[in-house]
Amino acid sequence: MQVTDGENCKGSLAMFKKIAIKEGITGLYTGALSPVLGNAPVNAVLFASNDIAARVMKNIDLSEETKIFCGGCFGGLMCCFVNCPIELLKIKIKATQENPSLIKIIRAEGFNGLFSAFVPILCRDVPTYGIYFFTYNYLTKKLCENQDPDRKTPRNVIGKMVAEGLSGQITWTTSFPSDVIKSYIQYHPGHRGILRTARYIYHKYGAGKFYRGLAPCLIRAFPVNAIVFITDEETVNILNSYL
pTM given for the model: 0.79
154-208 pLDDT, tens digit each: 888 888 889 999 999 999 999 999 999 998 888 876 667 889 999 999 999 999 9
In a domain, 15, yes or no: yes
What Cα–Cα distance (Å) separates residue 143 from each residue in 72, 127, 163, 234? 21, 24, 7, 19
The answer to whether residues 50 and 68 touch, using CB atoms and an 8 Å cutoff, is no
Is the pLDDT at 152 greater than 80, yes or no? no
Higher-scoring residue by pLDDT: 92, 138: 138
In a domain, 1, yes or no: no
Residues 88, 50: Cα–Cα separation, whole Å: 24
| Greatest Cα pair distance in the chain | 58
In a domain, 168, yes or no: yes
Question: Per-residue pLDDT averaged across 204-218, rounded?
Answer: 90
In a domain, 182, yes or no: yes
In a domain, 116, yes or no: yes
Residue 188: which region, alpha, beta or left (left: phi > 0; alpha: psi -120 to 50)? beta
In a domain, 235, yes or no: yes
* Helix (DSSP H) and strand (DSSP E) numbers for the chain: 8, 0
Provide the domain count of the chain.
1
In a domain, 173, yes or no: yes
In a domain, 200, yes or no: yes
Q: Which CATH number fits the domain that encloses residue 13?
A: 1.50.40.10
204: containing domain: 6-242
